[in-house]
Each structure stands twice: as C-alpha cells, then as structure tokens.
Amino acid sequence: MIGTGVFTSLGFQLVDIQSIFPLLMLWVIGGIVACLGALVYSELGSALPRSGGEYHLLYRIIHPSIGFGAGIVSATVGFTAPAVLAAMALGSYLKAVFPMIDQTIVASIVILFFHAIHMKSIRWGTSFQIGSTAIKVGLIFIFIIFGFFTSADNHQSISIIPKPGDGSILLSSSFAVSLVWVSYAYTGWNSVIYIAGEIKEPQRNISKTMFFSTSFVMCMYILLNYIFLYTVPIADMVGQVDVGYISGVVIFGNTGAMVIGIGISILLLSTVSSYVYIGPRIMQIMGEDHKLLSFLKIKDNKNIPRNAFWLQLLLSFLFMATSSFEQVLMYAGISLIITTTMTVISLFILRYQEPLLDRPYRVKGYPFTPLIYLIVNVWILYYSFQENQFESFIGIGIVTSSVLIHYIFTKRNILL
C-alpha cells in the first residue's frame, strides 16, 4: 500500500481544499472505507481462495464477462498503471534532488529493472520486497518523529479542530473527488486476494493480513499528512507532486532533504516492485481460463509467467508515452473503485446463491459493513463523473469494452 499516493496526493488535494480538518478527514474516511473493503474481501477470499483477485471472484460469482472486464482493469490500470505512476513519482523526487536528470528516463529504467528482476527469480524479487518495505516503514517513522520536533520558527500554526464551513466541505464535490486520490493511495489493501492461491493457510491469514495492515497504514498516512501540513505553508504545496521533499527541506535542511528525497525514491522502488510482481499473476490466471489468452499462462522452469511479464512491460511504456501523471492516477483510481464496488456487491450475491458454502471467515457487521462501503464509493463516483468526465469515461470504457470483448469472442467461440 505505502507508496506513490501518500507522497503525491496532498498537493493536488490542496488545489480545492485548504482547511486542515477536512484534509485529514480525507485520510480517515479513506482508511475506514479500505478497512471495510478488507473485511468484505476477507470473507470472499477465504471462501474462494484462488489467485486472481477481482477477476476470479467476479468470474465465479456474477458472470464470466464481468470477471473478464475486472481482470483487464486489474492487469492494466490496477497494477501496470500504479507501477508506472510510482516510477514517474520516483523520477520527480530524484529530479528535485538532482535537477540534471531526466525523470522520464529514470522511470523507464526503473520499470525495465524490476521486470528483469521478477522475471529472473521469485526469490530475488521477494527478498528485495522484504528489505525495501522495512526501509520504507522506517523512513516514514523517522519523517514523522523528526517532523513533530521541528523548531517553533519552522512549523506552521495549524489546528485539527473543525471550524465553520468544514461541514460543507466534507459534503462537497471537491471532497468526493479528492477521495479518488486517497482511495488510490490506499490501493493495495486487497493485494493478498491476487495471490490467495500462494498464501499459507489462506482461510486464516487473508483476513488477518488485510485488516491489520490496512489499519496500520491508515495511522501512518494520517500522521504523515499532518506532518506535511505542520511543516510547510499550504501555498508552497498547492499542485506539487513532491510534497515529501518540500517538507523534508523544512525538517532536515537542504542536505537532509536530499537524503530524504533519495529515501523516498527507495520507498517508491518498493512500490514499483510490488505492482510489477503481482500484475502478471492476474494475466496468468486469465490465460488459464481463456483460449485466446492461453499464451499468458505459460511459465518457465522457475514457475514465472514470462509472457505475462512481457505484456505488462509493453503496457507500461504505453502508459508513459500517452498520459500525464494526473490523468493516469484519475482513471486508474476511478476504474479501481468501479471494480472493487462490483466485488463488494458480489458478497450479497454469493450469500444468497450459496448459503451453505464453507466460509472460514464471515464479515463483521454484515450487511452494514458492505453497504457503507458501497454508499461511500457510489458517492465518490457520482461526483467524479461530474468533475472529471474525460478520465471517468476512460475508466468506464476500459471496463465496458472488456466485457463486450468477452461477450463477442465467447459467442464466436474464440475466447474460451
């Protein structure tokens, strides 16, 4: 989870919202919604423990065409696009430290590097992931702790107490659209579902992993954004991608900020790595189920789906060549909200259709837990369609066109 979103979102949120309480509530609400989603996915994943994520669940519960559409979304904007975004953000942070570098070239090299690593060996990839994640969490704790001890001359006078007008901001379209950025920052809370078939004791570990990790990350996100607002004037962060570096200059000075900027770049390496690792696994599962995509299921002698990795690499460069950072993030965020919303709806369908199915974990607070998740996400989508029509239509187009492809090809006996 921890990666691009939390280090890039605040600057764009500040374009429309500049009150402290609503800005922090974005991360509280986003975290609560992600925790609710994690509870729902825990039941679905423990009842139907096969890798593939939303693709497998929707294919199995609602209809193969819906699952196919979700699989295309997961493989493209679900994992490929976030990997590209993290690489682009990494390039932006490194450029802040070393102005002479080309951030697009950096992003391209990073994408190539991690495809090579994960295509070479599962052990190398997972070892890097464990090490870089430890560095990532440690860096954020250092940032938060030192941020609170910033000298009185450098920190901003802010209050988390609601002030008049904050209530209307919480119900505004700007707040709803900003939640797309926050939702994207929490993307990854459901990643365990994508490799459920490789998890030890999935019936027990899926629910524990998702709920506790999401709760932990929510606390870190709230504290980190508070530090950004505490250390830097709002005017200096509006519209900026590298808010972590800007805050780091205040906390650690120019030299220290360079170290932090490099540290955040290492953090983003971990994010790129995790998305590059998981994306091809979804393509592989789709290849197992569909004749037309059967080339994606092929594995080498190390159990690595190389063809799926090559396809993901091609898609990565396509994203970098055709879209800006904000565009990729918006249509990735909107598309993912659509697929997770459909997956939460599938819980009601599965409960109705298969009441006797073995469910090692049952979602707490049913039916209110999934209902609250659905209400918040439908509200976000409604205002997103109003405020960001182009990106919304891209997101809808990816889903609907994928469903139509499945329907047409299946009818002609090409796909299956």
15-43 pLDDT, tens digit per residue, is 889 899 999 999 999 999 988 988 898 88
Q: Is the pLDDT of residue 415 over 60?
A: no
Across 153-159, average pLDDT: 75
237-258 pLDDT, tens digit per residue, is 888 877 888 888 888 887 777 8
Mean pLDDT over the full length of the chain: 83
Are 35 and 186 in contact, with CB atoms under 8 Å apart?
no
pTM: 0.79
Across 277-290, average pLDDT: 81
Residues 6+ apart with CB under 8 A from 73: 54, 335, 336, 338, 339, 398, 399, 402
Q: What is the pLDDT of residue 225?
A: 92
Q: What is the pLDDT of residue 8?
A: 78
CA-only gyration radius of the chain, Å: 21
Q: What is the pLDDT of residue 170?
A: 92
Q: How far apart are CA 365 and CA 123, in angstroms?
A: 39
Q: What is the pLDDT of residue 394?
A: 79
Q: What is the pLDDT of residue 223?
A: 93
Span between the terminal Cα atoms of the chain, in Å: 34
Provide the Cα torsion 102, 308, 334, 290; round to 10°: 160
Question: Which domains can be identified in the chain, with CATH numbers?
Answer: 4-411 (1.20.1740.10)
Q: How confident is the model at residue 345 (pLDDT cuts 50, 70, 90)?
A: very high
Q: What is the pLDDT of residue 111?
A: 92
Q: Is the pLDDT of residue 197 over 70?
A: no
Question: Comparing C-alpha atoms, which of 33, 325, 343 is closest to residue 187?
Answer: 33
Q: How far apart are CA 100 and CA 87, in angstroms?
A: 17
Q: Count other Cβ atoms within 10 Å, centred on residue 98.
A: 13
Q: Which helix (H) or strand (E) holds 206?
A: helix 202-231
Q: Tell me what percent of the residues of the chain surpass a pLDDT of 90.
A: 17
Residue with more model confidence, 156 or 356: 356
The two structure tokens encoding residue 66: 């819906």
Across 132-155, average pLDDT: 81
Are 335 and 379 in contact, with CB atoms under 8 Å apart?
no
Q: Which amino acid is at 334?
A: I
Q: How far apart are CA 366 and CA 363, in angstroms?
A: 6
Q: Is the pLDDT of residue 302 over 90?
A: no
Are 410 and 416 in contact, with CB atoms under 8 Å apart?
yes
